[in-house]
Amino acid sequence: MESVALESIDLQKLSVRQLNQFLHHEIGTQSLSRVEILNPKGLHNIAVGLDAPIRVDVRGHGGYFLGGMNRQARIVVHGNVGWSVAENMMSGEVRVKGFASQCAGASAHGGLLFIEGSASSRCGISLKGGDIVVGGHVGHMSAFMAQAGHLVVCGDAGAGLGDSLYEAVIYVRGRIHSLGADAREEPMAEEDYATVGQLLNRTGLDYSPRDFKRVASAKTLYHWNVDADQQY
């Protein structure tokens, strides 16, 4: 295949398996820097396991696990996504121009996930160092058992936010329906303003970091505590 600046792959003509094979094996052998995926039509497992500094534009809606385990690549979805977008992402960036279903950014170790719209429940569950910015709201149990990294919510947060948090930090601009076990609101420090400002900058969102609240772990469940029976 000859070197071109933009390769278009039509999922009406090729299967997801062929697409991923191409992205895994042929991309490194060409001087491609940009791939466009047409007609994704909610298909699952689009552009998973990428490991190259390329840009991928998905022109439409994606299904489950879009961008799963991403390393290095910058993926832009011009539509909505199903469950677990960018799950276990290691690095790179996934940007969703629409809305995301459940478990967005689950267990992400690194990289940036930016959802311009809202994300459903369990956004940032088990987060392990990645950063997630949501332009709208997040559903219940978001950042459940999140271990490291940041979740920035520009809208409201649903019930049980940050349940059983470890070291991840959540910033919410809007209303928090309720906090989960061991999560607590804390004062914003200069470091928090800087973190939020930097993440907003990267996403192009024009909010003031001063409008955000910080939620972090109270760390009362870090060690076994018999009096916290129903909180475990």
Stretch that binds another protein, among 52-60, 68-76, 153-161, 170-178 (CB under 8 A): 68-76
The answer to whether 29 contacts another protein (rule: CB under 8 A) is no
The answer to whether 164 contacts another protein (rule: CB under 8 A) is yes
Place of tokens 């677990």: 84
Q: Nearer Cβ to another protein, position 125 or 200?
A: 125
Stretch that binds another protein, among 17-25, 31-39, 112-120, 200-208 (CB under 8 A): 17-25
The answer to whether 13 contacts another protein (rule: CB under 8 A) is no
Residue 23, C-beta contacts closer than 8 angstroms, at least 6 positions apart: 35, 47, 50, 52, 54, 56
Q: Which amino acid is at 153?
A: V
Task: Report 87-116 residues binding another protein (CB under 8 A).
Answer: 87-88, 90, 103, 106-107, 109
The answer to whether 222 contacts another protein (rule: CB under 8 A) is yes
Q: Nearer Cβ to another protein, position 121 or 203?
A: 121
From the number of C-beta atoms within 10 Å of its C-beta (0-12, 13-18, 19+), residue 215 rates as buried
List residues binding another protein (CB under 8 A). Answer: 16-17, 20-21, 24-25, 44-45, 48-49, 51, 63-65, 68-69, 71, 83-84, 87-88, 90, 103, 106-107, 109, 122, 125-126, 128-129, 144-145, 147-148, 164, 166-167, 222-224, 226, 232
